[in-house]
Amino acid sequence: MRVGVPKEIKVHEYRVGLTPASVAELTAAGHEVVVETNAGTGIDFSDQDYVNVGARIVGTADEVFAQSDMIVKVKEPQAVEIARLEARHTLFTYLHLAPDPDQAHGLIKSGATCIAYETVTSRSGVLPLLKPMSEVAGRMSIQVAAHYLEKEQGGRGVLLGGVPGVAPAKIAILGGGVSGINAAQMATGLRADVTIYDINNDRLAELDMHFGSQIKTAYASKAAIADAVKHAEVVIGAVLIPGAAAPKLVTRDMLKTMKRGSVLVDISIDQGGCFETSRPTTHSDPVYEIDGIIHYCVANMPGAVARTSAFALNNATLPFVLRLANMGAEAAMAADPHLAEGLNVSGGKIRHQAVAEALGLPYEAA
């Protein structure tokens, strides 16, 4: 198969769909890999690094798309990239279609087979291709919160871990999944006062066993969330419903009860965000303030630590990329129902029910 790797063009996105190590696996298996020039320079991989493992370098994204059967990316295709897609293409990347009807309609129009990392499942029920970036985002959320709590950043001027004689910051983590648990690990390491909120009692019990006395857990009722927001200096939004839009857990009215200079970090922003006042931001303009509360809602948080993120992502995606290349998309998904769960769009139809419901579009099984 001819596999194409274009340079990412989303603002401040430095990751790359395939590292040279991943390309080496594909070329060793007999596949042709076409890489856009400078695709890996954001994480210190030169064109020569790709040539050394058998890739062919081309000068433009147009050439990558024209000369490839499968496109492997990191972030959702931008409008100019969607325009390059054809029905013959398989696109394998993060899509996050639920809050993005323009992208969805563009992919439908293209006729391409579009497989989303974030809805591929595993036998254990986790999301293996979302997990590494959720781990990164969860861990990043605490260092981001610590930074924006600083007074010169407009924050409350609070040290997360406090000092002897001064209480630590209170951190409320909404969602006890992969992002939430990684946020908690970092926050407890900094000696913050951490409470995780979730609606799954079994998950709360697991978290209690995992962390012991390092954290508190609470059922995420509306009243409990309202009380958490009122007392916390940091609220981390880490909720996820695969393929669907994130529920709005924190309302505009709740902001008025918060301490001025507190920080909201919305990891769920790729799926529309879990704060009513959330809107996507970029690494070049990451925060805004509403009612004295700082909002950090960067839609590609892991892009800030691009090298770590690219390696972590490739570790997870490579087995699926090889399977798709070796078998073709249709046969690979027929053989692996967990990979098939990643199919969001094909043949001009929405193929994932949760995505269709979020977008208000018809769903048709493949």
The residues carrying an active-site annotation are 96, 270
Count of alpha carbons within 13 angstroms of residue 149, beta-carbon side: 26
Structure tokens at 200: 């799954």
Q: Counting Cβ atoms within 10 Å, is residue 43 exposed (0-12), middle (13-18) or buried (19+)?
A: middle
What's the rounded Cα separation, in Å, for the pair 268 and 239? Answer: 6
All residues at 6 or more sequence positions from 366 whose CB lies less than 8 Å from its CB, including other chains: 333, 340, 343, 346, 347, 349, 351
What's the rounded Cα separation, in Å, for the pair 277 and 240? Answer: 17
Residues in the chain: 366
What's the rounded Cα separation, in Å, for the pair 266 and 269? Answer: 6
What's the rounded Cα separation, in Å, for the pair 320 and 156? Answer: 45
Structure tokens at 229: 């927001």
At how many degrees (to 10) do helices 20-28 and 306-327 cross?
A: 10
Residue 166: phi and psi, rounded to 5, are: -130, 125
Structure tokens at 195: 């409470």
Question: Is 313 in contact with 15 (CB distance < 8 Å)?
Answer: yes
Amino acid, res. 233: E
Element (H, E) at 132: helix 131-148
All residues at 6 or more sequence positions from 345 whose CB lies less than 8 Å from its CB, including other chains: 95, 97, 104, 107, 108, 112, 113, 114, 351
